[in-house]
Structure 1
């Protein structure tokens, strides 16, 4: 069972370095960076996080396939994996469709694009020469000059059944968004095949008693997941209550739980959670 902490997109980018250094000295396995339209790029964030830490695995959650040519994505991931072997986990997803529309990158078939991207990136990272005449991805004899000795796992950031099945077939892991509970975890395990396929679950973390904050966090996740706010699972309340919720996600089958601490000063909340989980 792994514990990760997300560097939230609303935090100032320059605070990433002290954030990661703090976690590198704590009892945490991962730090995760995001790539959302208008916020920050995941590759530059991951490179920075890897460069200023020694122990943490750095997860990318997630790069949208419509924004990333698979050859370029493999080049970037391969470079990071060469420089920091065994410390990278790369999430790739469909991308939020409204955001993809905003930048003119909306895919006719997001599922096909994701499948072909994961396939091509994985083959390139393994040092293969790739020719693919797909419906969405076209490569002609492309290979990496410096493929990594330790190939980073590719994880699909997905939610729906067909996408989960795709992840089980093509990826080494699956990332579920914040707010899901044991039922969705069980479904994901069944559709992806379980076993060595890593299941990463994001969850909002708020150690505090402000009801308005809890309500707002639940509403945001509920809107994305299209469920009722009272169905959203979060690590909120006292540090003990938050720790119990993290444990429940592990017990439900999550291999890695990544907490997303709320607010401009997130690290004290993480420290309180760690004290309860020890």
Structure 2
């Protein structure tokens, strides 16, 4: 039996005011995680995480991702610590490079993105663990900074990265790696190799985002996914047919989740495309339960297959 955390993304295109009800409904459905997005011009990730956490009781909330160039490490650590103090054990903090063009458009493009990300993650993790940080780095300077109220349960800080040198960096400094939509099991093998090269051990958690569409008509599912798949294919630099998705009939989608789990994913976060996203998630959870491939914390109804 494969156990994997199942999450759902609150898509950046969805109105922010819908987040509280969506988070409550997702929690009631039995998902383990809700991931919020920070993209330039769309939403603030820390504020969205605060809303989702305050709206729910059990759900773990992930931020995917805060761009390091936009955030002072000290301020980011303060914000994360506040959430982690109020909602212990329920926060995952994703940090990444950010889209280079977007960072340039607001005047924060770093001279060395790799140095900035490494120094940011090292600093934020140290501050969240109650350490006093002195750093005169290539991109970050902190002169004896310490949090007055560090979290009792420091949240994991994961790197949302794609390229080989960044994946090595993640293995060196982060608690886990957040992997973008479109990456499949064979990609995860390479991710494991690169994070291990950076020094990551077996406890380095992989969280995989995946486009998801569930339906009985495969042609309709393909049409629904096509714009997302083609756009991601261009960003990843691979043909659309090589963009991995969790899609098809519910049992097929559950099988795709299992493929990711077998390749090392600890969490699979579904970015649902199409109508009634929670209904689609519910069908995947039911199929996982029916086949013995269970999410980490299924609701009683889902575990019985009642949905």
Q: Same fold (TM over 0.5)?
A: yes
Matched, 1:87 2:90: yes
Q: Superposed, which structure 2 residues align to 1:1-278 within 5 Å? A: 1-193=4-196, 194-208=201-215, 209=217, 210=220, 211-263=222-274, 265-278=276-289
1:238 CA displacement? 1.6
1:20 CA displacement? 0.6
Whether the 8 Å contact between 2:225 and 2:273 is mirrored in structure 1 is: no
1:216 CA displacement? 1.5
- Say if 1:164 and 1:128 are closer, same or farther in 2 by CA, change over 3 A: same
1:266 CA displacement? 1.4
The alignment yields a C-alpha RMSD, in angstroms, of 1.1
User: What's the CA shift string for 1:4-30, capped at 9, x where partnerless?
Assistant: 111111111111111110111122111
Whether the 8 Å contact between 1:11 and 1:264 is mirrored in structure 2 is: no
Superposed structure 1 runs of 4+ greater than 4 Å apart: none
* Cα distance in 2 between the residues matched to 1:207 and 1:144: 45
* Cα distance in 2 between the residues matched to 1:224 and 1:88: 28
* Cα distance in 1 between the residues matched to 2:142 and 2:57: 35
Structure scoring higher RCO (CA < 8 A, sep ≥ 6) equals: 2
* Cα distance in 1 between the residues matched to 2:10 and 2:156: 20
Whether the 8 Å contact between 2:224 and 2:274 is mirrored in structure 1 is: no
1:264 CA displacement? 5.4
Query: Which SS does the other structure have where 2:148 is aligned?
Result: coil
Query: Can you give the 5+ residue segments of structure 1 that lack an aligned partner in the other structure?
Result: none
Whether the 8 Å contact between 2:213 and 2:273 is mirrored in structure 1 is: yes
Structure 1 residues 66-75 or 100-109, which shifts more? 100-109
1:224 CA displacement? 1.5
TM-score, normalisation: structure 1: 0.97
Structure 1 residues 167-176 or 202-211, which shifts more? 202-211
Query: Can you give the 5+ residue segments of structure 2 that lack an aligned partner in the other structure?
Result: 290-307
Whether the 8 Å contact between 1:90 and 1:153 is mirrored in structure 2 is: yes
* Cα distance in 2 between the residues matched to 1:214 and 1:125: 39
Aligned length: 278
Query: Which SS does the other structure have where 2:29 is aligned?
Result: coil
* Cα distance in 2 between the residues matched to 1:265 and 1:111: 39
* Cα distance in 1 between the residues matched to 2:135 and 2:109: 21
Structure 1 residues 210-219 or 83-92, which shifts more? 210-219
Whether the 8 Å contact between 2:12 and 2:43 is mirrored in structure 1 is: yes
